[in-house]
Structure 1
Amino acid sequence: MKFLSSLHPLGGHLRAALQRNGDLYGFVPASIITVCDARISNLCKLLNPKVESNPYLAASIIMRAAAGLSGYVVASKGNLSIQKKNPYPPAIIKLSDIQQSVSQEDIVVKVIHIPPSLDKIIQPSSLDVPSSGYYLDIIAQKLGVRDANKVFMSRTVGKASSEVRLYFAAPESLLLDISSDLNVEEFHMEGSLNARASYFCGQAIYGDAIMASLGYTWRSGGLFHEDVSLQSYYRMLISKIPSGNYKLSREAILAAEMPLAFTSKNNWKGSFPKEILCALCRQHRLSEPVLAITIALEASCELSRSQKKLKVAGTDRFKTEYANGKDTAVDNGASVGSGSGFRCQVKILSKCQDLIIECFPKEVNKKQSDSIHNASLKVLSWLDAYFKDLDMPLEKLNYLANALDIQFHHDKFFKEFALCPSVYKYSGTPEAKLQESKHNNSFLFGQGVWSLSIEGSDSGLFPSTGCLVSVSYSVSLMTEDGHVKELLESNDEFEFEMGTGAVISSLESVVTQLSVGQSAFFKVELPPEEFIFAAADDFRTIRSMLSVQDCCLDYAVTLLAVTEPPEERMEQAFFSPPLSKQRVEYAVKHIREFCATTLVDFGCGSGSLLDSLLEYPTSLEKIVGVDISQKSLSRAAKILHSKLSTKIDAGIRSLVLYDGSITDFNSRLCGFDIGTCLEVIEHMEEDQASLFGNVALSYFRPKILIVSTPNYEYNTILQKSGLATQDDDPDERNQSQACKFRNHDHKFEWTRKQFDHWATELAKEHNYSVEFSGVGGAADVEPGFASQIAVFKRGFPLPENGLAEKEDSAQHCKLVWEWSTPEMPDMPASSL
């Protein structure tokens, strides 16, 4: 009686079984016992691990066990159900009647019928479940069998909290063989494998299947029920694809796309890569991904990296937590010094712990969380490429894997994903096959844009790579003659990062042509129908439109806002290593070439160059940085102090930061071996940049001065001006696509010709030679280098007393911070 009163799901089935009539009275299907009783289910798996994928085998074990308990239970002949041998006491019967009448009313629940043939369409249906009786008997009638004793129930599918299951019938031949004690593992199943149903639950299902959210649960004493619509079916289907999962997390099935790169947590919208990867493994019945973190240390003398396993002192917690796919062993936002970083190795294993996929990225990330998400994204991107081209040749799949630092075991991979091609190559509708050649079985769509029109005045604020963009949009299914139009999806405020592939390509291409406040209207070809049906509310109308005539997607987009990106992030999106690192390496090359021992950095900012220089073995002994921003200098002092405190063998004997303008003379900045001014002059007015050049070469007079500045001509590549249509006027197109400066704080950006003229005139006036080079791009390929560089070399020795007339009165720089080695008692170090 206590069991019948409980919320145990098996108790609900038993109460319902006591309401069955005639010879079905009291019989509980064996397949239900294995699903609802976790202890029995686990015992079956211990006896035979193949139970995990073979539900018929589990029922066979139950029936054989029941046959050995003939004194207690009765196993029905020719059926898969069990009944208590002795009658239940009247009190239990009465309690069952009362609870069943109180807890259940007549209900109508929407379900989905999944036929075994891929040529037949998925159909919505409904179940009329009376207050008395057993709901599984109603499902049995839908499946064309006499009663629930022949009905099997799958594990839950979809989200973890979902109660959606698949119901299917056991063939008559199987029932006879189980009764005759035939080994079910050797049984040859008659009928067609239901690939779509099997794909959802990871268990072999033959014949028709019903997808329903209906049954007894731990949450309710009565019969739980929810409608399952065709939209929810297709949403579950696309959620088993990496990009589909991301689209659903953004609630933008027809606009979003899983980004190609993880730039930062702030700019990543929707579920993070690690979360998507974990969900994908669960949905494909794989083990949780194994994430292992290593710290990569950059050797100070060789520029090579050694790896050290990251552990939690005194415990094995790190190893255990990461083996379970968790990242709580170390602070998820943990970061390291500029000379080291984190790498994350990802392993994907089957339920039997067979290694399927392994990814060990070469890249090093400053933050632990970034390394986890970047490694996860590599695996997701590779899997997504496979889903988008299920007929991809093995050679191409191997090539993509190598490019993403992935190794995979071919046989095990194709075994685990064997059903994918048969499920995704058809959307389950006859009309889909007519569209098959047009879509080429690809999940990419939106490549072609036509009927583009732009409305609204030009505000002058256009998006570029790295920007955070906010748009409103709506997407409708439209017949190509334009007579019928049905809304599929809309969003009043949708944000994404430009240049990362975070939206379908056609949408991003159009947005690049809009200024804030403008709207665009355009059409693109259809995606695979899974995505259309997953977005559609009115399934009947959409299916009717697709079956009657050719259709397209009609987009309306308004650009609401643009948040400009930091220049460094924009460059990182295009260059590897980042442009900032290439500039540092360029400076290091000249330091080594000329055996320089002293360096002054004009416009040092937050000390990024000085900090980076400490990671390279050079001959430098004295470094000075100067800037007009006290806030930036304060940050630089903290970073450099932390670095120098742990870098005993760096070779640096002193490092000083000054607060002052680089256009004002100061004798403490004179006579250095090398002066650097990297990406600084463009933050001044042009006349101030010329003044700096004159002061640096006439008074400071370093042996070598390295000046870099953005090449304005390269902005066309960085900002990707957008699509041009054949109807556009060339002059108007050129004007609308004029490049912006790379940073809102830039006062100017020079072309190569302008920079050449500026540097040549300076060198001629001050008796320096000048050579031109750059980083990012190439000198002999248009439009040249992304950062153009002038290297000034002094052509005369510095007079011993050439600065005497200015030295007494010219001390415009204020000492902010100073560091020196303990071996220099004549130059005491000051603390922060």
Structure 2
Amino acid sequence: MGETPTIQTKKSNQTPKAIIHQKYGSSACYRIEEVREPVQNSCPGLAIPQQGPCLFRCNLQLPGLSVTSEAFKKKKDAEQNAAQMAIEKLDIQPATDSSTSQEPWDVLIAARISSLFSNEFLSSQNQPQHPLIGHFRAALQRETEECGLLPVSILATYDAKLNNLCKSINHKLDRNPHLIVTLIMKAARKSGSAAISQGKLWISKQTPYTPEILQALTSQQLSSSEGIWIQAVRIPCSIEKPVEPVTLYISSDGYYMDAIAQELGLTDTSQILVSRTVGKASSEMRLYFSALESPVPSDLSLEDLLDAKEPVTNESFNDRASYFSSQNIYGDAILASIGYTWKFPDLFHEDVSLGTYYRMLIGRLPNGGYKLSREAILVAELPIAFTSRSNWRGSYPWDLLEMFCRQHWLSEPVYSIISITDLVDPSLETSQASKKLKVANPAEEETKYANGRSHAANDKESIAPGGSCRCEVKILSKGQDLIIECSPVDSYRKPNDAKQNAALKVLSWLNKYLRKLDMHVEKLSSSGATHGLCFYPENFSKEFALCLSVHAGQLASSLRKCSLLASSCMDQLNTTQEHGVCSFKTEGLDSGVFPSNGSLICISYVVSLVRKGEHMKESLESSDEFEFEVGTGAVIPQVEACVTQMSMNQSAHFNTELPPREFIFAAAGDSLKSISLLSMGACFLEYSISLLRVTEPLEDRMEQALFSPPLSKQRVEYALRHINESCATTLVDFGCGSGSLLDSLLDMSTSLEKIVGVDISRKSLSRAAKALHLKLSENSDPAKPSRGIKSALLYDGSITVFDSRLGGFDIGTCLEVIEHMEEDQACLFGDVVLSSFRPSILIVSTPNYEYNSILQRTDLSKKDEDPDEKMQSLPCKFRNHDHKFEWTREQFNNWASDLAMRHNYSVEFSGVGGSADVEPGFASQIAIFRRGPIDAECSENLDIAQPYEVIWNWSRS
């Protein structure tokens, strides 16, 4: 797949398409075709269908030349790539900045203006309803001296071809609507069809339209004969002044731009400028504002025009309006959703409320974008961990980051996937076996997740070895200046997980910074370092100047008002607070089903704004079913603190102090009521929550939520250390499943030459074969960790049945397998593996049932009683739904010790996750069996049986 083409170079400010258009005009024909690149089957022995992503290629036809682009995710990138290829083949030299004034830009723009004011443009019945036709109709229906006159800004805004021509000249024009209007006025003088007004920003047709066209246009009326009322919002230029709702009235025979001009206090509609669309790309929401009193002179050359400074004006720069549109806006602005569209000839309109404005405002923050995607502004929070795609709710991190960049007029994030080849030095003590797991408070938990592990962020040697790739992400400006660079040390098996987590780290850092805008640069750098992130202050400040100004002003204003209200509320509430929660009350019987870290739970809730003392209440936000994963910070701390103290089917009520008013107005269905209620006195938020469902976490979900690195990675580290200490060359993994252990071992430097996996699930073995074949086939470089592997096999068979081909291996592993069998089968496996397979070393791990007291918040009050009685006193709840049993430490020790004694093995006990010296021990308990002297007679009596079926066989030859 092709890389995104460079849109602009240091030599030219024009895109490749603009250069081709200048030379060939309409003779250049672009044709897009959809393609799906085939994905090679990485494992020839398995019929696993695969299909590549949907991509696009572009064929560019020029007089005497045809080129076809590479494949791209976006059509526009394919078009630009095709144009660039044509430029290189034809050896076209793009104009430099110094020669731009000699380019025929004015001819191209003038030609487009002429076509818009031609009879053919309005008389064409075959083309779709161009948005400008509605404006022409409204202008021609006037009975004043302004009949037939159009504001120049309307042409610049609603004709995409004209707008793109202007932007292709220089990217500066896109941010300055005053320059675009001046440019069109300058080019209109060369137009053969249009005329401009002296001293005014009007444009009209030089010659009258034919009677037929006038009759066709003026006969069309608005659907409503009585006019329409539209709700809009005024955004004052002073950030100290509040945003206010306004009402626009458009008569049945009127022009909506006149109503906006009246609201802005303008008598001349031509003085209105119109921004690009804001909010969703499909919306018609725009900002309307007045042109500067002293616009840029239109008699300047293009070179001087582009270098011209902003004119001196009495109008103040409107930070908030400019922030929304990424264009330079002065004076007050009207935010309205109204206009003519391609879809239908009538005037389109929608109400824009204060709630709409505030949702747009908080939607430009990382946590605000996530809140909106969950439709839970007062409850949801940007999670601090991405554990799995199945558990994540709302927009994915990389979608949120892409939206954030788009809203702040930055380039799309650039991701780089890096394969892990340099692995953990086995001589280093990276195992967490000797460390106690801490049930951290929320602040500690957030730091742990922010860092991605419990190790220091700069501890490169402590990367968990289970992953096979990591991801770097860069954020650049439109001019390709580097703003943020994030290089997390965490590794992942799947590139998708690496990308999601890298994007989340950038979002988390931005979120923290935008919450504390007064943070010093040194502290900001230190905060970024914990995320594996560095930023470039000069570029960062330049791109986020408006963002910082707007949010700093809004936050300061909100906190001043809300602190007064909140303090008054807190003075009147004679209750204690915990995590910012007041008056915590639980209702309903204790069902005994509590959520734990990693649980996926479902709640219903209602959040209301309440005025203290007068029982005045307004519902702000509610949900009948809201899911989130406990332990990832996916909701505000007060909600999680409440829910984790509830059992299923219970309800709770609590109060909190007010958040910034932006969140209240964004969540409120009727912001005017909220304003009224807030202005009347002390208020607070009341939360009513019911716990509907608790989905117990699967082991991998729970491990990722509680342990850093997860237990699965800690077990691999443990096995790796013993493999290297024993200098083993052959390994068999009993119950290999999808090959997670074998796959992880291929990323590490070991002494192994032959690896074998055994399992009874064909589906799991197929997945394992695919992953192993791909990695072994690709790692032909002698420097690769898996280069020492000479052969690898996967067998379909039961580990309770002996196969002579696997006898006498150097090391055997059986990690988290026996609990999925019945207890008698687990005992049978122990006898078969030590009496028949007889590996030199056998490593067996299984969950420690006593540790469930921590995972499931159970109190162990009787530590000295009989193990069997102790087992009965514990809740009968296993970590996974398909576990047949889970042993206590004593039960596991008895099982392993008895096996070792009967089969001439020694055994030692250890574990990972937790500590042997602190109750209740390790989360995963491990037994290491070591074979004693071999009895030759016993070896000769072994049957030569081969019941296993070879599923996949690989050798380096």
Which TM bucket (shorter chain)? 0.7 to 0.9
Structure 2: tracts of 5 or more residues without a match? 1-118, 427-464, 568-576, 781-786, 860-871
Distance 1:453 1:660 in 2: 53
1:375-774 matches, within 5 Å, as 375-427=502-554, 433-435=560-562, 447-481=579-613, 483-620=615-752, 650-651=788-789, 655=793, 657=795, 659-660=797-798, 662=800, 672-683=809-820, 702-712=839-849, 714-715=851-852, 741-749=878-886, 769-774=906-911
- Which amino acid is 2:948 matched to? L
Distance 2:363 2:947 in 1: 60
Q: What's the CA shift string for 1:787-823, capped at 9, x where partnerless?
A: 23333444x422211466x746x97x84233877889
Shift in alpha-carbon separation, 1:448–1:763, aligned structure 2, 3 A: farther
Q: CA RMSD in A?
A: 4.2
CA contact (8 A) 1:513 1:721 kept: no
CA contact (8 A) 1:671 1:701 kept: yes
CA contact (8 A) 2:123 2:213 kept: no
Distance 2:893 2:759 in 1: 25
Matched, 1:168 2:306: no
Q: Bigger CA drift: 484-493 or 771-780?
A: 771-780
- Cross-structure match for 1:36: 158
Shift in alpha-carbon separation, 1:2–1:102, aligned structure 2, 3 A: farther
Q: What's the CA shift string for 1:178-221, capped at 9, x where partnerless?
A: 58979762412323222221111112222211111112222232
Distance 1:212 1:654 in 2: 66
Distance 1:11 1:674 in 2: 79
Shift in alpha-carbon separation, 1:481–1:740, aligned structure 2, 3 A: farther
1:255-274 matches, within 5 Å, as 255-274=379-398
Shift in alpha-carbon separation, 1:499–1:720, aligned structure 2, 3 A: farther
Q: Name the SS for the 1:126 alignment partner.
A: strand
Distance 2:956 2:504 in 1: 49
Q: Name the SS for the 2:347 alignment partner.
A: strand
- Cross-structure match for 1:201: 325
- Cross-structure match for 1:149: 270
Q: Residue 741 of structure 1: CA displacement?
A: 3.6
CA contact (8 A) 2:790 2:955 kept: no
Distance 2:383 2:477 in 1: 26
- Among 234, 237, 254, the alignment partner of 2:358 is 234
Distance 1:69 1:397 in 2: 54
Distance 1:625 1:204 in 2: 64
Distance 1:634 1:96 in 2: 68
Q: Name the SS for the 2:240 alignment partner.
A: coil
Q: What's the CA shift string for 1:595-626, capped at 9, x where partnerless?
A: 33454545444544345445545444566656
- Which amino acid is 1:45 matched to? K
CA contact (8 A) 2:761 2:796 kept: no
Distance 1:457 1:264 in 2: 33
- Among 19, 23, 26, the alignment partner of 2:148 is 26
Shift in alpha-carbon separation, 1:55–1:208, aligned structure 2, 3 A: same
Q: What's the CA shift string for 1:425-467, capped at 9, x where partnerless?
A: 3549966522258999xxxx99522322223333333333333
Q: What's the CA shift string for 1:632-669, capped at 9, x where partnerless?
A: 6676677667777778854456757473464x888887
- Cross-structure match for 1:327: none
Q: Bigger CA drift: 758-767 or 476-485?
A: 758-767
Shift in alpha-carbon separation, 1:139–1:521, aligned structure 2, 3 A: same
- Among 173, 184, 195, the alignment partner of 1:73 is 195
Q: Residue 161 of structure 1: CA displacement?
A: 0.6
Shift in alpha-carbon separation, 1:149–1:514, aligned structure 2, 3 A: same
Distance 2:623 2:902 in 1: 60
CA contact (8 A) 2:562 2:661 kept: no
Q: Bigger CA drift: 384-393 or 419-428?
A: 419-428
Shift in alpha-carbon separation, 1:425–1:199, aligned structure 2, 3 A: same
Q: Name the SS for the 1:221 alignment partner.
A: coil
Q: What's the CA shift string for 1:661-714, capped at 9, x where partnerless?
A: 64x888887655434332234445677767766776677665433232334565
- Cross-structure match for 2:255: 134
Q: What's the CA shift string for 1:50-86, capped at 9, x where partnerless?
A: 3222222223333444567799624232x32234455
- Which amino acid is 1:456 matched to? G
Distance 2:507 2:641 in 1: 24
Shift in alpha-carbon separation, 1:523–1:689, aligned structure 2, 3 A: farther
- Cross-structure match for 1:791: 928
Shift in alpha-carbon separation, 1:782–1:169, aligned structure 2, 3 A: farther
Matched, 1:3 2:121: yes
Q: Name the SS for the 2:622 alignment partner.
A: strand
CA contact (8 A) 1:128 1:138 kept: yes
- Cross-structure match for 1:725: none
- What percentage of residue pairs aligned between the two structures are identical? 56
- Which amino acid is 1:227 matched to? D
Q: Name the SS for the 2:509 alignment partner.
A: helix
- Cross-structure match for 1:335: none
- Cross-structure match for 2:480: 353
Q: Residue 549 of structure 1: CA displacement?
A: 2.4
Q: Name the SS for the 1:212 alignment partner.
A: strand
CA contact (8 A) 1:477 1:485 kept: yes
CA contact (8 A) 1:707 1:789 kept: yes
- Cross-structure match for 2:91: none
- Cross-structure match for 1:726: none
CA contact (8 A) 2:736 2:758 kept: yes
Distance 2:320 2:605 in 1: 33
- Which amino acid is 1:187 matched to? P
Distance 1:153 1:516 in 2: 54
Q: Name the SS for the 1:222 alignment partner.
A: coil
Shift in alpha-carbon separation, 1:408–1:597, aligned structure 2, 3 A: closer
Matched, 1:249 2:373: yes
- Which amino acid is 1:370 matched to? D
- Cross-structure match for 1:112: 233
Q: Residue 513 of structure 1: CA displacement?
A: 2.8
Q: Residue 282 of structure 1: CA displacement?
A: 2.3
Q: Bigger CA drift: 540-549 or 697-706?
A: 697-706
CA contact (8 A) 2:565 2:681 kept: no
Q: Residue 160 of structure 1: CA displacement?
A: 0.6
- Among 273, 279, 285, the alignment partner of 1:158 is 279
Shift in alpha-carbon separation, 1:817–1:463, aligned structure 2, 3 A: farther
- Which amino acid is 2:935 matched to? P
- Among 54, 58, 61, the alignment partner of 2:176 is 54
Q: Residue 497 of structure 1: CA displacement?
A: 2.5
Shift in alpha-carbon separation, 1:163–1:119, aligned structure 2, 3 A: same
TM-score, normalised to structure 2, is 0.71
CA contact (8 A) 1:121 1:428 kept: no
CA contact (8 A) 2:609 2:617 kept: yes
Shift in alpha-carbon separation, 1:436–1:50, aligned structure 2, 3 A: farther
Matched, 1:218 2:349: no
- Which amino acid is 2:506 matched to? V
Distance 1:76 1:156 in 2: 29
